[in-house]
A and B are shown apart, each in its own frame.
Chain A
Amino acid sequence: DTEVTQTPKHLVMGMTNKKSLKCEQHMGHRAMYWYKQKAKKPPELMFVYSYEKLSINESVPSRFSPECPNSSLLNLHLHALQPEDSALYLCASSQFGSGSTGELFFGEGSRLTVL
């Protein structure tokens, strides 16, 4: 069982909808990540929060808006998405900030379909 919990597991939304993906970890990790994974492709980094501050934004379009309310929670707000944004969105955490420890603990992902 993963110690990083993501909700919802599946989400279908229209291009005009606003929705959010949520991620929670209670391992005391200080870095949290959003990755996007398309079928048969590797995960691609979107955002990194280190000690609750946005550390890395990999030039992600503004229709994706991350939020880190506290050290245990990470949200990804979605607005005006495109069908090509359909993918598996993976949340991960690591013990220390900015990937210095290496090991990422992934959630099971939220599978997003944009109609």
Chain B
Amino acid sequence: RKEVEQDPGPFNVPEGATVAFNCTYSNSASQSFFWYRQDCRKEPKLLMSVYSSGNEDGRFTAQLNRASQYISLLIRDSKLSDSATYLCVVNGIGRGGGSNYKLTFGKGTLLTVNP
């Protein structure tokens, strides 16, 4: 099982649509979870952290299910500006084990919001 696995996409949705992305992770010891957004030929930027109780930031809702090792991101009322690649990011163990945690990125899901 890959460390972090995401919906392959791409997703093409009309403006105003609701879209959901899913992500699974393999390391049950992982403690930190994030969604990053990356625009074409730009650097990744943090969209939101994912907390155990679920969290919401405007049109974006993130949820975590530790038992199933599953993370989701819901975008409501999609805007053209939401078009980007969404990366699921999970912390894990670097080579050498111990406390050398590293952040691992999923392959990303490309979202295109159409007018």
Contacts and interface: CB of A to CB of B under 8 A. Distances in A.
Interface of A: 2, 41-45, 48, 55-59, 90, 98-100, 102-104, 106-109
Given A56-B102, A90-B43, A102-B34, A41 B107 contact: yes
Interface string B19-60: 000000000000010100000001111100100000000000
Interface stretch (B67-75, B76-84, B93-101): B93-101
Contact of B96 (A56, A90, A107, A109): A56
Interface size class of B (residues with CB under 8 A): 20 to 34
A78 to B, nearest CB: 20
B105 to A, nearest CB: 4
B94 A48 contact: yes
Contact of A98 (B49, B99, B104, B107): B99
Contacts of A43: 44, 87, 105
B63 interface: no
Given A42-B107, A55-B94, A104 B100 contact: no
Contacts of A99: 32, 91, 101-103
A55 B100 contact: yes
Nearest to A99: B101
Given A42-B108, A56-B96, A104 B46 contact: yes
A108 B43 contact: yes
Contacts of B107: 41-42
Contact of A56 (B32, B100, B105): B100
Given A98-B99, A102-B32, A45 B104 contact: yes
A42 B43 contact: no
Contacts of A56: 94-96, 100, 102
B106 A42 contact: yes
B108 to A, nearest CB: 5
A100 B102 CA distance: 8
A100 B101 CA distance: 7
B44 A98 contact: no
Given A56-B96, A99-B91, A99-B102, 20 more contacts: A42-B105, A42-B106, A43-B105, A44-B105, A45-B104, A48-B100, A55-B94, A56-B94, A56-B100, A58-B95, A90-B43, A98-B94, A98-B100, A98-B102, A99-B101, A100-B101, A102-B32, A102-B49, A107-B43, A108-B42
